[in-house]
A and B are shown apart, each in its own frame.
Chain A
């Protein structure tokens, strides 16, 4: 079975503290659990807020997993266990 591509859109508010944290946490999580199977698009809501509105993001930071299924999370993503559970990533094979 070929590996699924996990696609994320991360909405940040410039380099505000929570947004930086959120980016850090997301990248770390992806490297650990989804190496070479992920892509992260970063959107700065302070620059491109229409894009955010279209995506129905009302609060930043927020991450939207677009594929393989649609999941939206808000906040700094500090509780990794919770994030994994929400994304449905528990027990995913870590190997490529």
Chain B
């Protein structure tokens, strides 16, 4: 087979590829026309009309043809792939956004109404409580699954945005401990957490670090032996990195199983029961850890147990450490002091969502609700009734929530009314855009009762502290 070594080297022509293609074509034509006497290779010249050389000539022709075709295809492919890649990224992004919305909207109804039932005015019978717990449990689980899948898809599409912080390991560990205790107790697994004598801070996104650790802890609890234990161990891997290992006393993994670990929906043939966990946690964990510049891995001995570990870069403490205080905001109506009711305007086309908010507002004797099913009507009502706060669904028919918002801002009568966005679009890019446009705050569906009430209160307070005579600059 004719080697490709001696075929077409760059000359002193500026337009390299085209010239080379032309040259190859010329040689081919010459051979085809029978105008060639000899062909040259590293081994020497061969006369074309000798039998041997005819075969060689055929090989040269094939090689040259292949070269011409390949290069032509390369040029076309390079041009096309750029366009295709751009289109694909755009399509993925749109798909993710609308999937996020489509999945969250019905979940909002399920979780919203179940929460209403649970916290309703009449006490529930034990059977009713049990049934509602089932609905809520399944609903939250489904939401968790949706979030994980969308997370994975988002990471794949290169769209995840992490915040770079100094994350206090001690704090994160404490949070994780609280979150996994219930599961550990249910399963009869003893948990051992490290004590931090000196504070360690890792470089990364706080929420994602927590997410990853919880995933590893859940797995360690699930894949354990009866009356087993889980130990979390921290040690410096290098002066700049720390290794956090989660050791379990489970059945252990074979080398083959270890190799398949970080693949989606591969539970390695093991059944972890119906508890939390969706089979894609490790894949997400791996991607997140790698996005934070760290590594993840596992060691195991069959019959003894496994240790799943992550290594993250160490950093110094942040300038001022603000502890997150987890407050439960009670769902109670505020004090009635005879003040007239404030009007809330909700612009939403989905009947179930409207029902839900109607029920929520019914629990607020200080508020009354106006509704509009499209943007134009919403603007009209806002102008005539001047509500104290507006709840705006983004995904409306015709004029969308963002456009309605712009119109409200542009009108001097309505520009000062705080508008809260309510939407099943939960992608960071959507939230960012909305806040930039002037939305007061952003509620994502499925709505959490407490968050909803709190957001309303903040907006109403904002409204009340602004006197009409003060001109606010946009």
Contact = CB atoms under 8 A, between A and B. Distances in A.
Interface of A: 12-14, 16-19, 45-46, 49, 52-53, 56-61, 70, 72-76, 78
Contact of B40 (A14, A57, A78): A57
A82 B459 CA distance: 83
A56 B9 contact: yes
A29 B37 CA distance: 21
B30 interface: yes
A14 B50 CA distance: 14
Interface in B116-154: none
B60 interface: yes
Contacts of B36: 18, 59-61, 74-75
Contact of B23 (A17, A72, A75): A72
Interface stretch (B41-49, B203-211, B413-421): B41-49
A18 B38 CA distance: 10
Contacts, number: 76
B12 A60 contact: no
A52 B39 CA distance: 11
Contacts of B9: 56
12 contacts: A12-B37, A14-B37, A46-B38, A46-B45, A49-B45, A53-B40, A58-B39, A59-B31, A59-B40, A61-B37, A72-B26, A76-B35
Interface string B1-36: 000001111011100000000010011011101111
A70 B45 contact: no
Nearest to B2: A58
A73 B23 CA distance: 9
B40 A74 contact: no
Nearest to B26: A74
B40 A58 contact: yes
Given A18-B35, A70-B13, A72-B23, A13 B47 contact: yes
Nearest to B12: A70
A61 B48 CA distance: 11
A45 B42 contact: no
Contacts of A46: 38, 45, 47
A52 B35 contact: no
Contact of B38 (A45, A70, A72): A45
Interface string B144-174: 0000000000000000000000000000000
Contacts of A13: 37-38, 45, 47
A84 B268 CA distance: 73
Interface string B42-69: 1011010100000000001000000000
Task: Give the one of A46, A53, A58, A70 with max B CB within 10 A.
Answer: A58
A13 B9 CA distance: 22
Contact of B6 (A17, A53, A61): A53
A58 B27 contact: yes
A1 to B, nearest CB: 25
B38 A74 contact: no
B37 A52 contact: no
Nearest to B9: A56
Contacts of B7: 58
B38 A75 contact: no
9 smallest CB-CB distances across A and B, nearest first, come from A16-B37, A75-B35, A13-B38, A13-B37, A74-B30, A75-B30, A76-B35, A60-B38, A18-B37
Contacts of B31: 59
A53 B45 CA distance: 10
Contact of B26 (A17, A52, A53, A73): A73
Contact of A45 (B12, B27, B40, B49): B40
Task: Give the one of A53, A60, A70, A78 with max B CB within 10 A.
Answer: A60
A16 B40 contact: no
B380 to A, nearest CB: 76
Contacts of A74: 26-27, 29-30, 35-36
A49 B23 contact: no
A95 to B, nearest CB: 31
B60 A58 contact: yes
A56 B40 CA distance: 9
Contacts of A17: 37
A75 B35 CA distance: 5
Interface in B251-288: none
A52 B45 CA distance: 10
Task: Give the one of A19, A52, A57, A59 with max B CB within 10 A.
Answer: A59
B21 to A, nearest CB: 14
Nearest to B34: A18
A53 B42 contact: yes
A84 B45 CA distance: 28
B12 A75 contact: no
Contacts of B41: 58
